[in-house]
Amino acid sequence: MNERSTTAALLALVVLVASLAGSPTRAFEGALHLPSLTGTSGGATAGGADKLLHVAGYTALAYAVAAAVRAQTPRMLAGIVLAVTVFGVGIEVVQPSVGRHASALDALANLAGAALGALAWWRFRQRD
């Protein structure tokens, strides 16, 4: 396994553990002061920070996977977005078995992050 593949695998493990562990947004609730993306009055925990963490995590994961396979075509990137999104949906499906709630909005944030990561790779990749 090369360095890029190792990075992608480790990021996938971090996303998996973070998704199944507990909600990290509670720790940041007072510090972030982010508006809720869901329109509720619950602050960061109600949607803002949580969705941003999903987007950030899946952006990093998709970018790392694209780098690991050195994606060179839009078709490859579409496959990466699909694979990373399916990984995220799988995690959402498993979450109720560990006392967490599955969320379609989380899955949508995962898709947005995967697409951003693939687009970032396409824009900034080094031509091999």
- pLDDT value at residue 1: 79
In this structure, the dihedral spanned by the alpha carbons of residues 79, 17, 33 and 60, taken in order and rounded to 10 degrees, is -30
- Position 34 scores a pLDDT of 47
Are 57 and 16 a contacting pair, CB within 8 Å? no
Other CB atoms within 10 A of residue 16 CB? 16
Over the chain (128 residues), what is each successive 10-residue block's mean pLDDT?
92 92 53 45 56 96 96 96 98 94 95 98 80
Q: What is the pLDDT of residue 128?
A: 53
- DSSP 8-state code for residue 1: -
CA distance 111 to 66: 15
Structure confidence at residue 93 (pLDDT): 95
In the prediction, which pLDDT does 24 show? Answer: 52
Tell me the whole-structure pTM to 2 decimals: 0.80
β strands within the chain, DSSP E: none
